[in-house]
Amino acid sequence: MSVNIGVLGMQGDVAENIAATRAALGRAGIKGVVKQVKTPGEISKLDALILPGGESTMMGQMSLVNGAIKTIKDKIQKGMPVFGICAGLILLSKNAKDRVVGKMNQPLLELLDVRVERNSFGRQRDSFEAEISAQPIGIAKSRGVFIRAPSIEGIGKGVQTVSKFNEKVVAVKQGNILGVAFHPELTSDVSWHSHFVSMIKPQNNQKQQNNQKPKQQKLKQNNQKPNQNNKK
Ligand code: GLN
């Protein structure tokens, strides 16, 4: 199998995420291409996407202007795995407000059912590193780098809390969406990127599975018809 993974390259720490994802693929023995993407055309070919850390207002505006935001939203709604890191988590959220400034008029994808507080742990000089565990996805211990990090305040029904730090939710999962408030790509530990890679079902693989069972599927369809008629 071979996967095509993109890191949204409008702004932010793109290179570090490309390196961490390549390392995660290598560790899993999965062949794949990991590259920076910007245009709707590039994004439409992806099996998975990382929205990196940076500045969510800037990233959102640039994606809006070149039309990428629409393609990204479409692909995620159709099931493409996405990993939102810090500013990327904010972009994915349904609702975001800054701890000091409050609600801002910034473009959001509005797919992840959470309310995010931007700059929740303070500003640049309040950045810190902390030990993070995420038992629900099998990460016993990792280091999180928090840089003007958000926290997740409100959580919708379908959202799983994956990790907390100081009573604040800092990592969540909702189906094909993984979001973290900190930067795992700034450490040498690739366990978060490895988990993300495990969420990818490449196109090629899906086709193979479909091709393997055409007869069984046909039989099922045939069986269903008389049943449905009986019910009516
Ligand atoms: N504070 C930034 C924002 O609100 C996020 C910081 C980060 O990605 N490290 O967009």
Token pair, residue 50, equals 């990382």
Catalytic residues: 86, 183, 185
Residue 228: inside a domain, yes or no? no
Residue 226: inside a domain, yes or no? no
Please state the atom number of ligand 1 nearest to the C-alpha of residue 146.
9
* Total domains present in the chain: 1
CATH number at residue 85: 3.40.50.880
Maximum Cα interatomic distance, the chain, rounded to a whole number of Å: 69
Domain extent at residue 190: 2-201
Predicted TM-score (pTM) of the model is 0.87
Token pair, residue 197, equals 């890679």
Distance, CA 38 to ligand 1 centroid (Å)?
19
Helices 68-77, 56-65: inter-axial angle, 10-degree rounding: 100
Residue 33: inside a domain, yes or no? yes
Q: Within 13 Å of residue 111, how many CA atoms lie on the same side as its CB?
A: 27
Cα–Cα distances in angstroms (integers) from residue 15 to residues 3, 11, 45, 125, 223, in the given order: 18, 11, 20, 23, 52
In tens digits, what is the pLDDT along the chain, a chain of 232 residues?
799 999 999 999 999 999 999 999 999 999 999 999 999 999 999 999 999 999 999 999 999 999 999 999 999 999 999 999 999 999 999 999 999 999 889 999 999 999 999 999 988 888 999 999 999 999 999 999 999 999 999 999 999 999 999 999 999 999 999 999 999 999 999 999 999 999 998 554 444 444 444 444 444 444 444 444 444 3
128 Cβ neighbours under 8 A, 6+ residues apart: 121, 146
Any ligand 1 atom below 6 A from CB of 134: no
Q: What angle do CA 31, 33, 39 make, to 5 degrees?
A: 155
Residue 232: inside a domain, yes or no? no
Residue 35: inside a domain, yes or no? yes
Distance, CA 135 to ligand 1 centroid (Å)?
25
Q: Which of 85, 86, 106, 109 to mutate for ligand 1's pocket (most ligand atoms within 8 Å of CB)? A: 86
Please state the atom number of ligand 1 nearest to the C-alpha of residue 85.
8
Rounded Cα distance, 40 and 90, in Å: 20
Residue 231: inside a domain, yes or no? no
Residue 18: inside a domain, yes or no? yes
- Residue pair 111/96 in contact (Cβ under 8 Å)? The answer is no
142 Cβ neighbours under 8 A, 6+ residues apart: 131, 132, 133, 134, 184, 187, 189, 191, 192
Cα–Cα distances in angstroms (integers) from residue 34 to residues 42, 44, 79, 96, 160, in the given order: 12, 14, 19, 29, 27
Residue 219: inside a domain, yes or no? no
